[in-house]
Structure 1
Amino acid sequence: MSNSYQITTLTVLLGFVSILFYLVFKSRVSTNSLEVYAVGNKSFSSISVALSLAASITSAATFIINPGFIALYGLSAFIAFGVVMPLAIYGALIIFIKRFRKYGMDVKSISIADWVGKRYDSRFLKILFGFLSMLLITFIVLICVGMTKVVSKALNANELSILIIIVAVVFTYMMIGGANTMVYTNSVQAILMIVVAVLLLGSGAYLLFKTGDDGIINRLNEIDPALTQTFNKQSPLFRDFFEVVVCNTIVGIAIVCQPHILTKSLLIKKDSQVNKFLLYTVLVLLLFFSVVFVGIYARISFPDLMYNGAKLNMDDIVSAYVLNRFPVYVGIVVILGLLAAGLSTLEGLIQSIPTTITNDFVMPLTKMANLNTAPMKINKVLTVIVGIIAILLSYDQLVNPSLSVGIFAQNGVYAFFSAAFVPVFFGIFTKTQNKWIPIAASLVAITTHFSVYYLELTPYMEGMAVKNPAIASALALILSTVMGLAIYAIKPMNKKVQKYANA
């Protein structure tokens, strides 16, 4: 790679960062209010918030990490991440967001933990989910690793140095801006992502029109027949119908129960805008989720997964494909879009995680201890701490991944929304105030998820070097939902028993 390419790439990246900082200061609100920092105080158009949400949901996982799974495991991985999970997400968004927004607007919730605590009038639930939100730091790690891989390869620079710079820059401008900044920057990033999604999908489109020996299926068969199977028995993640379809459907529905997703609906100030917002979101997501098919293009380009004489790690496949497939200046645009894909979700997580920990974990504890504290000061300190933790964990994943940083992130993120699903579901679709439903279900979900994963319960986990977090999450969601339904059914039964006893 030439020095001129690296210099040009660096110049473009610095220009992009300058634009982001301009948007930060343009949208910055001087406030000591944690609520304004979390959900903003401006009225945004439905298309702006839709772009922001679509960018937040997809992120570096969809554009950088997940295509690597498709490159390694073929059609089975594409069905899971490119078809089943997206369809489940679309349905859950449409069903959940309207109901969540209605209650969220009424009580002015600024996080999932805040929403659950107010919905069930439970300080314990608020503190519990404030604590569990720390699991989402694993998602920050995924994004940091993905962006570091892309930028370090483009600049031929040291990964640790790039990682520290990325974390320092993004965490700094998010501390300055908050939710208002995030919608502006996410909109710019989403537009870039649309351009790059079209470029990436178009980069191998010629393969779709080839037939016979040159067709995609035949070429994949020549590399490895398992790549063209609906279920890849050689993979640790896509072995059968349960892993590919059932788990990813359950996970896709539950994935919507994340603070940086559902709370986006609170940025829409008028109810009349909600349908347009959902339509725009789904249309953009259709394009974004299609990007994982680039993993097929990459595998055909690197049949033996070798690049420049070195074996490609899964998380390096997309970066190598971009550098190999595109001419210099188009490649720089694609790199910029991949960076935007990571930033879009990273900003939402930086904004939501410290806010949730502050508002729903630290502040309730300080009130119980009769301590007088300033929420925004605590929030900024926690943002710095989360940044430091992100650097340490990301560096460990750069040098010592278990197949992919995607596995590490899924384990943490899936655990969180496994716990959040029942409280949010019952809170939206029932009028129950029974606190035992969300408390028992959440504790069952967390216990089940980590027990299945780390104790290697079920044949899917036994003796596996790489374990599938979707299995643990699906089982946790099933058991916690059964628990919630059982408790929900017991109370009416008790009332009927009491009624007959008093007759």
Structure 2
Amino acid sequence: MSAELFKYLVVGFYVGLTLWLSWIGMRKTQDIKGFSIGNKDMSAWVIGVTMAASISSTATFVINPGFVYVHGVSAFVHYAIAGTAGIMTAFLLLTRRFRQLGDESGAITIPDWIYQRYRSRSLSVFFAVINLLSVAFVVLILVGCSLLLSELFPISQTLSLTLILLFVFSYVLMGGSYAHAYTNTFQGIMMIGVSLFVFVQGYHHFQGDIGASLSGIGEQYASVFNADSNLYHDFFSVFLSGFVITFALMMQPHILTKMLYLKNDRDVNRFLVTTFLAGACFMLMLAVGFYARLKGLEIERQDGVVVSYIASEFAAFDWGPYALVFISITLLAAGMSTLDGILVSLSAMVVKDLYLPFSGKEGFEQGSGLMLSRVVLVLVGLLAYLVALDPPKLVGLFAQKGVYGLAAASLVPIVLGTLLPRQPPILVAWGSAATGLVTHLLGILLFGIENPAVAATYAIFASALVAAALMLFGSPTPTESDQACARLE
């Protein structure tokens, strides 16, 4: 079988299986709740792989290895070690209690959870609006996937972008959360296999001595704190910001809502173990940044490191073209595994938390709510598509600036709402959320902080300080306007 025929067969199989899984999901999706978080009948193992795939996505498989290629060990430590520690801490600390509160209140989105916990409609609307910053990450994924598809097939990046968007929409529109979970499980298994294969196959570039090989590139390149790097040069930018911002990123709507998929507390341990093991395999892809440098590749565009490396690495082998096809499709799957989750969460959120509370239409959720969530899905995708047609030079940093702002605003209100036994004061949630978002934006736009993780970490610290002050000195009672808005529900 020729490599060209193999490519089309594998792509056809991937597309066919994905659409079939989404059709199965569509049969279980009857209302907006099923579209958003399912009917609590998914296996904990499925949810765990889905979660890991949603976290990793194009950022881990395509974009972040470029940072390792440029900045070296410091970037690897920032993403793989500090980041993994932040993920594990967030899940261990929040999963059980967050799931219990969501289950008791019937929440199906993060702003809905905020409303049920704080009983403030204005606060939930604020969270729904700032969660639209997730569109920045949608742009990152679309750009990364379009680079891969245009490398795999002789088509333009614009056509690649269009085909990817149409494909993802075709299966997410059908099955919502079920299509997302079922296809993510399939995609996640592919991602685990490719991560292990690429890591092991490229290990020879270290020549048996990782430290000496990296030092050969440059002393600072092999240093945990890279003095030559504008992004990862000290303990704060490498470790502390990596831990804090990754912890905060678990507050994103397409990630935290996975905990609401779980049926009961007995599923939590299986979910956590599956997520951690799959995530650890995915982090091995960051080594591609090292491999590309050790191989001597001169890559002008940082976002194209992975694409360039796999094309160069496997070209010399007879089986190389076949491996290249499978790896490229898996990298595409990595992006889609997060893209579909974000689109599902955003569309459900706009309907549930922005339209329904103010529509005054009783029973709307069971009927037109599902259709409207699909309409919103299309609009969000089109907006991201327009931005992705002419993306920023470093799309990874562009996405981080938007999504990290969302994380900085969300962390303190969600953590307090989860861990405190009683409802936290609304003033505390408002103050900490606004402080986190504004401080992050000021750090990026006014003070010129180049690493978005550093700006977001400062913002989270400021948010926590404001929350602590308000807890000590602020009024614990809801405002009259909040009470009035809550009665509209």
Structure 2 length as normaliser, TM-score? 0.91
Cα deviation for residue 493 of structure 1 reads: 11
Checking the alignment, whether the CA contact within 8 Å between 1:6 and 1:156 is kept in structure 2 is no
Checking the alignment, whether the CA contact within 8 Å between 1:190 and 1:341 is kept in structure 2 is yes
Checking the alignment, whether the CA contact within 8 Å between 2:431 and 2:467 is kept in structure 1 is yes
Report the equivalent of 1:498: none
SS at 1:203 equivalent: helix
Taking the aligned partners of 2:476 and 2:91, their CA distance within structure 1 comes to: 33
Give the one of 422, 432, 455 matched to 1:472: 455
**1:94-123, CA deviations, whole angstroms, 9 ceiling, x for partnerless residues?**
111111101011111111111011100000
Taking the aligned partners of 1:69 and 1:31, their CA distance within structure 2 comes to: 40
The answer to whether residue 308 in structure 2 is matched with residue 320 in structure 1 is: yes
Q: 1:139 to 1:405 in 2, by over 3 A?
A: same
Report the equivalent of 1:363: 356
Cα deviation for residue 283 of structure 1 reads: 1.4
The answer to whether residue 471 in structure 2 is matched with residue 488 in structure 1 is: yes
- Give the residue type in structure 2 aligned to 1:265: M
Give the one of 125, 128, 131 matched to 1:130: 128
**1:426-458, CA deviations, whole angstroms, 9 ceiling, x for partnerless residues?**
10111134110111111111111111111125x
Q: 1:493 to 1:92 in 2, by over 3 A?
A: closer
The runs of 5 or more residues in structure 2 that have no matched partner are 315-319, 478-489
Cα deviation for residue 13 of structure 1 reads: 1.6
Checking the alignment, whether the CA contact within 8 Å between 2:424 and 2:476 is kept in structure 1 is no
Cα deviation for residue 302 of structure 1 reads: 3.0
Aligned pairs for 1:103-142 (under 5 A) are 103-142=101-140
Report the equivalent of 1:500: none
The answer to whether residue 211 in structure 2 is matched with residue 220 in structure 1 is: no
Quick check: 233-242 or 444-453, which moved more? 233-242
Cα deviation for residue 168 of structure 1 reads: 1.1
Report the equivalent of 1:499: none
Cα deviation for residue 182 of structure 1 reads: 1.4
- Give the residue type in structure 2 aligned to 1:164: T
Cα deviation for residue 378 of structure 1 reads: 2.4
The answer to whether residue 164 in structure 2 is matched with residue 166 in structure 1 is: yes
Taking the aligned partners of 1:260 and 1:38, their CA distance within structure 2 comes to: 10
Aligned pairs for 1:170-319 (under 5 A) are 170-208=168-206, 210=208, 215-303=209-297, 305-306=298-299, 312-319=300-307
The answer to whether residue 436 in structure 2 is matched with residue 445 in structure 1 is: yes
Quick check: 378-387 or 158-167, which moved more? 378-387
Report the equivalent of 2:485: none
| Identical-residue share of aligned pairs (%) | 31
Taking the aligned partners of 1:433 and 1:154, their CA distance within structure 2 comes to: 52
Checking the alignment, whether the CA contact within 8 Å between 2:427 and 2:470 is kept in structure 1 is yes
Quick check: 354-363 or 77-86, which moved more? 354-363
The runs of 5 or more residues in structure 1 that have no matched partner are 307-311, 462-466, 495-503
Checking the alignment, whether the CA contact within 8 Å between 2:24 and 2:175 is kept in structure 1 is no
Q: 1:481 to 1:194 in 2, by over 3 A?
A: same
Checking the alignment, whether the CA contact within 8 Å between 1:437 and 1:484 is kept in structure 2 is yes
Taking the aligned partners of 1:30 and 1:47, their CA distance within structure 2 comes to: 19
Taking the aligned partners of 1:7 and 1:161, their CA distance within structure 2 comes to: 21
Structure 1 length as normaliser, TM-score? 0.89
Taking the aligned partners of 1:433 and 1:228, their CA distance within structure 2 comes to: 46
Checking the alignment, whether the CA contact within 8 Å between 2:412 and 2:463 is kept in structure 1 is yes
The answer to whether residue 46 in structure 2 is matched with residue 48 in structure 1 is: yes
**1:296-339, CA deviations, whole angstroms, 9 ceiling, x for partnerless residues?**
11111234x24xxxxx3011110111111121111111112111
Cα deviation for residue 189 of structure 1 reads: 0.5
Taking the aligned partners of 2:12 and 2:70, their CA distance within structure 1 comes to: 33
Cα deviation for residue 284 of structure 1 reads: 1.3
Checking the alignment, whether the CA contact within 8 Å between 1:422 and 1:442 is kept in structure 2 is yes
RMSD in angstroms over aligned alpha carbons? 2.1
SS at 1:226 equivalent: coil
- Give the residue type in structure 1 aligned to 2:291: Y
Give the count of matched residue pairs: 467
- Give the residue type in structure 1 aligned to 2:335: G
The answer to whether residue 352 in structure 2 is matched with residue 348 in structure 1 is: no
Checking the alignment, whether the CA contact within 8 Å between 2:40 and 2:262 is kept in structure 1 is no
Taking the aligned partners of 1:416 and 1:381, their CA distance within structure 2 comes to: 24
Taking the aligned partners of 2:378 and 2:25, their CA distance within structure 1 comes to: 22
Checking the alignment, whether the CA contact within 8 Å between 1:248 and 1:470 is kept in structure 2 is yes
Taking the aligned partners of 2:40 and 2:248, their CA distance within structure 1 comes to: 29
Taking the aligned partners of 1:173 and 1:24, their CA distance within structure 2 comes to: 5
SS at 2:348 equivalent: helix
